[in-house]
Every structure is written in structure tokens, then in C-alpha cells.
A and B are shown apart, each in its own frame.
Chain A
Amino acid sequence: MATTLSVTSLSATSTGALKAWRSVKPIARPQRSPLFASRCVLGKKAARLRVVRSAPSTPGGISEKVSESIKKAEEACEGDETSGECAAAWDEVEELSAAASHARDRAKEYDPLENYCKDNPETNECRTFDN
């Protein structure tokens, strides 16, 4: 189904998600401008899509690194579960999961205006006054 396909592709990467989002056309009301149409909640299917889109997705290639490291850890532990290699492999999984979670938090807090103002505090948008 188109909806489920777009749901899975949404959770993949953020750039891919944007394309998938745009490719799903709204069901009704063709007269609205394209910009407005993409923001409208147009029925249950679109509403469900919107909910998934707001869930945090891990930026960059960290997600792939996490999945790969899990596979490698499972392979390393097939032989001996108490070996150092097994522990080191799962430790790597833990490290990458922590990095992924931090990257997600940073992406959630990202504000383009604040970012710009950090480097250019003297511009008109960014000047602050104290009294």
C-alpha cells in the first residue's frame, strides 16, 4: 500500500523522507497552492503520515553503523559468550547507540536562527539589548 510504503521510507533518512512526503499527493482539494496542500491534514491517511514524520530520526550514517555493529556483535558472540571479543563488540554497539541518541537530541534542538546568530551576533536579527 502506498501509505505503508511511504511510512517505511519516512523512517529511513530525513532527506528521503522529505521526498516521500512530497510525492504523496493530497486526496482532495486540488485548488489549494502546493505549499498549503502539503501542510493540510486531509483525512486519516495523511494525518497518520504526519504523526510518523514528527518522530525523531537519526541523522547521518549513524543508524547504519548501529545496525552493522549489532550484526557484528551477534556474530562475534556465536562462539563464546563470555569472551573479550564478544564484550568489546557489544560495547561498540552501546557506544554507537549513545552517539545516535545524542545526534537525535542535537537534531531536535537545532534552530537555524540561533545557529546563524552564534556566528553573526552583530546583524540586525541577532542583536540583543539589555535595558
Chain B
Amino acid sequence: METIENIESSAPCLNSTLHFCISDTRDKRRRGEQKQNQISSFSLSSSINKPLKMAVCTAYTSPSLHSPYPISNSSKSHHHFILSTSCRSNRRRVRGEISCSSETNTVVIGLAADSGCGKSTFMRRLTSVFGGAAEPPKGGNPDSNTLISDTTTVICLDDYHSLDRTGRKEKGVTALDPRANDFDLMYQQVKALKEGKAVEKPIYNHVSGLLDPPELIKPPKILVIEGLHPMYDARVRDLLDFSIYLDISNEVKFAWKIQRDMAERGHSLESIKASIEARKPDFDAYIDTQKQYADCVIEVLPTQLIPDDNEGKVLRVKLVMKEGVKYFSPVYLFDEGSTISWIPCGRKLTCSYPGINFFYGPDSYFDHEVSVLEMDGQFDRLDELIYVESHLSSLSTKFYGEVTQQMLKHSDFPGSNNGTGLFQTIVGLKIRDLFEQIITEKSATPAEVSKV
């Protein structure tokens, strides 16, 4: 490795001031581990007079800045590099960014959606794009809503309820009402996590309806806050690096809730309908208003391909992407900024009924410039999916077929055969791209400082 040679050649000068810290090789099973993370356990050479045989902490030289993988993959090991040499005579010394404390400046993503609208599925797809399965914290409260994976921590905003179930019943407020949530605590804790400090977050137990004792949350690389009000409070909104809103239309919501709840003994069609109707005023007043602040909205509507469709199995999904968002480049079809209507089924591709329709075009959404990519229909075969992927541009994939691979990996998730799964996967890849851009930008600035 180039860097090791540099250190060796300058070894005679390295008399006193080489400091380095420990890094773990606890988990070698990481993506890109074989390429980048040569941070292996090393031996401290006590007498620094003889030339250093092994590189201690590999400092990456500038070309690797633009490598696809983030510098420090593991959130468990704290990579603190302080590599300073007192010798200035050797011009070919190691130059590059030395990332100190990768936990500062966590990337915060917000996801807003009503209950029963696919937040959990989206979370699983998102954490899968980053690698590793997200699980509840081990050894803690079994009813915890938090999910932790290697790079990501998902926090459910229901934990910031100020009133528990009995409290809400007494006051006659729903959970959708801002009066039932403690936005000050939410802001304080998200801010602390973003700055790299651990917090004791309360737990709202959905089964018992009570507020349980808090659990410790350590700052992750990526923090996802999902719930009903991530964008409601202006202060919390400013902390978000990217925000998504899942907008499900009423008919589709009704169909999904029927599917979910009909297995329950107590439920009937009337009770499901009454439940949706009773929550609608609060939903429209408090939750739906967050749409305008989202950087990206996934709208799910009934299909237009089947006239008088009652089943709600085929869906029309629109991906509304705000223009001008930092680090986010919208997906497009064929030509950015133009209006395209595309039916891939034809001579090269045969689809079964009702087929697939695509639409792409610029639009205006709550006075913002947006690009809308819309898919109506469903995928029946693998080749339909790969065909569609090969014609979409600016997907932020790392290799051809990555979207298809991710969709196949989770073919048992709901929505894997239509636009919901496709757009959720694409948004996941966009978030990964955003995260990597932020990391490379942050680590580029110290590199400029260290060049003497």
C-alpha cells in the first residue's frame, strides 16, 4: 500500500510524535471491507528508532476520498486517528483526510406517514440498502420501538408522546394531535444525537399504552426518525437532512386496513371505516400539512388502468421529488426536465394484464418545483423489472441491476411487485447517495487543512 511505503521511507524521522489509537477488527463481514478497511490490529513498536514495519492506522490518500464506500464503515469501533509527524523533511509523507470520531454529525432522515401505511416496510428496505438487518436493541425492553443496525438507528416518534393512552382518553385527544406529543424533548434529543451525544429516550409501549422507562440510544451514522410528526415542529424540521412523506389516498388506505384488520375477530368493515373516519379530521389538520415540507413524497393512488377497479391490488404510485435539494438528484426517464409518457410493454417486452404505464414530468407541488415519476401497474416477471430499471436514469445505483437485486431480496415484502416497492428502494438508494456525499464533503475539509 502506498501509504505504508511513505511511512517507511520517512521512518528515520519519526522519532517521537507518532500517536495512534486502537481500532477493532471485530466484525470483518462488511461491504467493501476487503477494499478499504485495512484498519487491522497492529503492533505498537515500542522503540521508534527502528523503521516502522507496519502502518498503524491507514490514513487514506486523496484519491480514495471519492471511493464509493464511506471511510469508516463500522459504527462499533471509534476510529480516532491522530497521525502527526515532527519530521517535515520528507515531502512524500502521508497526506489525506484523517477522520476523527466518525460519530459527529449524524445524518438525520425523517419519514412521516399515518399508521398502517407502510412505514415498517420502508424502514426494512432502507436498512437493507445500507446492509445488515435492523433489530430491536438486545437485552432491553422487548416492546421497544427502536431498530438498530450497524449503520442505522430508527427511532419511532411515538416514544415522544407526552400523554399515555389513558391521558389521551381523558383529554379526548388522538395521538395525531400535537398536544399529545412533547416536541421540546424530541428536538433536544434529535439535536443531541445529531451532535454525537447519547440520549436516554423514553419508550412508548404500544401494547400497554404506557410510557416505559427510557433506553439509552447511542448516536449512529444515520438516524431515521419515523412517525406521525417528524416535520411538524420547525426546529426538528431544520435538523433533518432529508425528509419523506408517504401519502396514501383514502381508497387505498381503506383497502390496506381491511387486509390488515379482517383477520382480527372484533373488526368488521363498519368498524374499520368508522376508525378511519373518526381520525380523519385530526389527520387532515396535523399530519397531512407536513406534505409541503417533505423533500420527497410517495403518493399511492388507485390504478387508472382498470376501469371500475374495486380490489385495489393494482396501484398507481407517484414519486414526487423536490428540485434543488442539496445532495439529491431526482430520478428521471430519458430526458431530464421533459415530459415523457412511456409504456414499456410492446415488441421487446410482453406484459400481462393490466401492463405497466410510466409517466415523468416537471410539475409544481405546493409552490415548489418538483419532478414527478409515476408508475401505474405491476411487475409480474423479473425481466420487466430489469427492463424498467435499465431505462431509468440517475438512480444512484452502484452497479447495473442493483434496484432489481434489492427488490428480489425482499420479494416477500408487501409492494414488491408494484411502484411502492420500486420507489421505496429507489429512495433508499438516494439516501445512501446523500449520506456518502455528506461524508465525503465533511472529510474533504480536514484534508485541505492538513496539506502543509
Nearest-Cβ distance from residue B350 to partner chain A, whole angstroms: 34
B449 an interface residue at 8 Å Cβ cutoff?
no
Please tell me if the beta carbons of B172 and A88 are within 8 angstroms of each other in the complex. Answer: yes
Please tell me if the beta carbons of B263 and A90 are within 8 angstroms of each other in the complex. Answer: no
Contacts of A56 in B (CB 8 A): 263
Q: How far is the CA of A94 from the CA of B28 in the complex (A)?
A: 43
Contacts of A87 in B (CB 8 A): 172-174, 278-279, 281-282
B91 an interface residue at 8 Å Cβ cutoff?
no
Q: How many contacts A-B (CB < 8 Å)?
A: 109
Q: How far is the CA of A60 from the CA of B205 in the complex (A)?
A: 15
B307 an interface residue at 8 Å Cβ cutoff?
no
Please tell me if the beta carbons of A90 and B279 are within 8 angstroms of each other in the complex. Answer: yes
For residue A93, which residue of chain B has the nearest CB?
A: B275
Residue from B175, B260, B271 in contact with A91 in the complex, judged by beta carbons closer than 8 Å = B175
Contacts of A85 in B (CB 8 A): 169, 172
Please tell me if the beta carbons of A70 and B267 are within 8 angstroms of each other in the complex. Answer: yes
For residue A128, which residue of chain B has the nearest CB?
A: B29
Q: How far is the CA of A66 from the CA of B172 in the complex (A)?
A: 19
Nearest-Cβ distance from residue B154 to partner chain A, whole angstroms: 14
For residue A58, which residue of chain B has the nearest CB?
A: B264
Q: How far is the CA of A98 from the CA of B279 in the complex (A)?
A: 14
Please tell me if the beta carbons of B206 and A99 are within 8 angstroms of each other in the complex. Answer: yes
Q: How large is the interface on B (under 10, 10 to 19, 20 to 34, 35 or more residues)?
A: 20 to 34
Residue from B263, B279, B281 in contact with A94 in the complex, judged by beta carbons closer than 8 Å = B279
Please tell me if the beta carbons of A118 and B263 are within 8 angstroms of each other in the complex. Answer: no
Residue from B138, B173, B260, B282 in contact with A101 in the complex, judged by beta carbons closer than 8 Å = B260
Please tell me if the beta carbons of B265 and A97 are within 8 angstroms of each other in the complex. Answer: no
Residue from B120, B168, B264, B271 in contact with A88 in the complex, judged by beta carbons closer than 8 Å = B168
Which B residues lie at the A interface, using CB under 8 A?
28-29, 115-116, 120, 138, 165, 168-169, 171-176, 206-207, 209, 257, 260-261, 263-267, 271, 274-275, 278-279, 281-282
13 additional A-B pairs beyond A73-B271, A85-B169, A94-B275, beta carbons within 8 Å, are A58-B264, A65-B207, A70-B267, A74-B271, A84-B173, A87-B172, A92-B168, A95-B115, A95-B209, A97-B261, A101-B116, A101-B260, A102-B120
Which A residues lie at the B interface, using CB under 8 A?
11, 55-56, 58, 60, 62-63, 65-71, 73-74, 77, 81-105, 118, 130
